[in-house]
Amino acid sequence: MSLRRRAVPLLALALLAGPALAGCGSDEPEESATELLSRAKEHLDGAESAHFVLTSEGAPSTGTALVGGEGDIARPASFEGTLKVVALGSTVDLDVVSVDGTVYAQLPFAPTFSVIDPAQFGIGDPGALIDPGTGISQLFTEARSAELGEERRVGGEVVREVTAVLPGDLVEQLLTSQDPSQEVQATFSIATGSGELRRAALTGPFFAADEDGTYTLELSDFGADVEITAPTTG
């Protein structure tokens, strides 16, 4: 048989085999934005603890507002860390502890902790941040118009963004809002392997009703051994 006559069957075989070979990759459908949010909620609701860092953009230099912070949250309702607050024209760092719904802070120039109402600093109870009913994970349930965004690698880990719109009155319960009727734009960064929420960037009328500001919350060290107790008050 000539080489020319053999080439036709071989070419036909290659064309037929092409689709079959291409199909040997992963046939699993891509996880939807809603499914990824659901998995992030499940992971966060099951975490015994987490470390968080909060930063902000567009915060005022006057009035009273939460502009940042860092600390540890432990289940069921505890927090220990430092919150950065604008008050009386200056930015102060408050050592804050929250245990079972009671929030303590060591105010500037005070020698000991005292019980405070966190609302006076424009925040909710930081100890409730990983409570399934009142904490961060409820944002996943109430997210509207969720869409998959960029996928990138951060520190050797693949993270997928999910953009969504959140009710302003819901976000106000966690942070603050000068107009809860306005929606808040959210971008969640979720590790696709573990389902852990790595970052939540929220943009809305946090500091002024007619101007957007942004809070960015980063989470890490899920499940670390954290023990938080109420401080001694003066």
Q: Which amino acid is at 201?
A: A
H or E element: which one contains 106? strand 102-106
Which residues of the chain fall short of a pLDDT of 50? Answer: 1-26
pLDDT value of residue 27: 54
- CATH classification of 33-220 is 2.50.20.20, yes or no? yes
pLDDT value of residue 156: 83
CA-atom Rg of the chain in angstroms: 24
What are the extents of the domains in the chain?
33-220
H or E element: which one contains 22? helix 3-22
Tell me the pLDDT tens digit for each residue of 122-134.
778 899 998 888 8
pLDDT value of residue 16: 37
Tell me the pLDDT tens digit for each residue of 99-158.
999 999 998 888 999 999 988 877 788 999 988 888 899 999 999 999 999 998 887 899
pTM: 0.83
CA pair distance 215, 137, nearest whole angstrom: 16
